[in-house]
Amino acid sequence: STSTGFSLTVIVLNANHQPIQGATVTLDGGSAQTTDSFGKVYFAGLGLGDHAVDVKSGSFEQSFPLTISTDSPGSQNMFVVI
The span from the CA of 82 to the CA of 45, in Å, is: 26
Residue 31 has pLDDT above 90, yes or no: no
Residue 3, pLDDT score: 58
- The side-by-side arrangement of strands in the sheet containing 49-57 is 32-34, 24-27, 49-57, 60-68
Residue 1 has pLDDT above 60, yes or no: no
Return the H-helix or E-strand segment holding 46: strand 40-46
The span from the CA of 24 to the CA of 2, in Å, is: 31
